[in-house]
Amino acid sequence: MTGIAVAGEVRDAVGAGAPVVALESTIFTHGLPRPLDLEVAREAEKALRADGVVPATVGVVDGVPTVGLTDAQIERLATDDAAVKVSIRDLPVAAAKRLGGGTTVAATSMLAHRAGVRVFATGGLGGVHHGASTTFDESADLVALAATPVVVVSAGVKSILDIGATLERLETLNIPVVGYRTTRYPGFYVADSGHRLDHAVDGPDEAAAVARARDELGLSSAVLVANPVPAVDELDPAEHGRLVAGAWDAAERAGIVGHDITPFLLDHIQRATGGRSLEVNVAVYRNNVAVAGDIARALAPSASA
């Protein structure tokens, strides 16, 4: 594949029909503080390997989109203050300037698909921002997922977003969303965002069956598996509602707009919870990685033989 580096281990696993799970890199380049970022990245890979799944962490190294970062490359990106956040539109710029960076959900999904990786684990998706009817502020994740036939396991979209509007956009874009053993759409920090889902899967085998049916129908969208954070790990729902409202009030008072909104809101919630939201973030990711590994094993050709 011209322009994309695929690790030999990942290429061999895909060729052999073995289970592989793609992992994004923005979680350790931009999402978590040091040294937790590197610890979580390494833990995710270790957990997948322990379950017989090949991890394929995706990132950009010296301008080269890479599927299956080495441990040294992960450490390099996790400790690089100059690392940039790379979505699909940024890939040619990163390549030309030989930048290093963490790939977003959009870029990770696209690169994983190009490498033949069928399952991707992330924390929360991007979506429609509040006020998007006038600002048109909507994550590129949504459009990318409409054209990328992978299975994405997430805990919904980040709860600071307009979840109802995001679900409407997903429907318009013909992206199937299934709850993982639930018909309630998760809200990242909480298990239930207050929105209902039309469909659920009862486990990894049924999730894999949905993906196979999508492929047999020749459809090109992702299948989104909405996996709620375990109840024992979630923020108190009533507290969560107050925190999100307070974060938005603080952003409005500070005049924060555009791409600065999301990091401001998440940082506000983290400080307001004394770091508790960070613990939930990590719990969300661990849970999604585990479920993605289960689905990857169920989706592997040997599982359906």
- Asked, for residue 257, whether it belongs to a domain, the answer is no
Catalytic position from the list 39, 158, 216, 239: 158
- Asked, for residue 265, whether it belongs to a domain, the answer is no
- Asked, for residue 41, whether it belongs to a domain, the answer is yes
- Asked, for residue 266, whether it belongs to a domain, the answer is no
pLDDT of 155 higher than 90 = yes
- Asked, for residue 245, whether it belongs to a domain, the answer is no
For range 268-287, the mean pLDDT: 92
Select the more confidently predicted residue: 238 or 132: 238
Per residue in 244-276, pLDDT tens? 888 888 888 888 776 677 778 888 888 889 889
Catalytic position from the list 24, 45, 138, 234: 24
CATH number of the domain that 179 lies in? 3.40.1790.10
- Asked, for residue 165, whether it belongs to a domain, the answer is yes
Q: pTM of the full predicted structure? A: 0.94
Q: Is 234 a catalytic residue?
A: no
Per residue in 94-121, pLDDT tens? 999 999 999 999 999 999 999 999 999 9
Give me the number of domains the chain comprises.
1
pLDDT of 66 higher than 50 = yes
Residue 53: per-residue pLDDT:
98
Q: Is 24 a catalytic residue?
A: yes
pLDDT of 92 higher than 90 = yes
Select the more confidently predicted residue: 154 or 265: 154
For range 226-245, the mean pLDDT: 91
Residue 36: per-residue pLDDT:
94
State the residue range of the domain holding 120: 5-240+274-304
Residue 244: per-residue pLDDT:
85
Question: What is the per-residue DSSP string for the chain?
Answer: -TT-EE-HHHHHHHHHT--EEEE-SHIIIIIS-TTHHHHHHHHHHHHHHHTT-EEEEEEEETTEEEES--HHHHHHHHT-TT-EEE-GGGHHHHHHHT--EEE-HHHHHHHHHHTT--EEE-S-B--BPTTHHHH--B-HHHHHHTT---EEEESSB-TTS-HHHHHHHHHHTT--EEEES-SEEEETTEEEEEEE-S-EESSHHHHHHHHHHHHHTT--S-EEEE-PPPTTTSPPHHHHHHHHHHHHHHHHHHT--GGGHHHHHHHHHHHHTTTHHHHHHHHHHHHHHHHHHHHHHHHSHHHH-
For range 155-178, the mean pLDDT: 92
Distances (CA, A) of 111 to 2, 42, 64, 252: 12, 20, 11, 36
pLDDT of 21 higher than 50 = yes
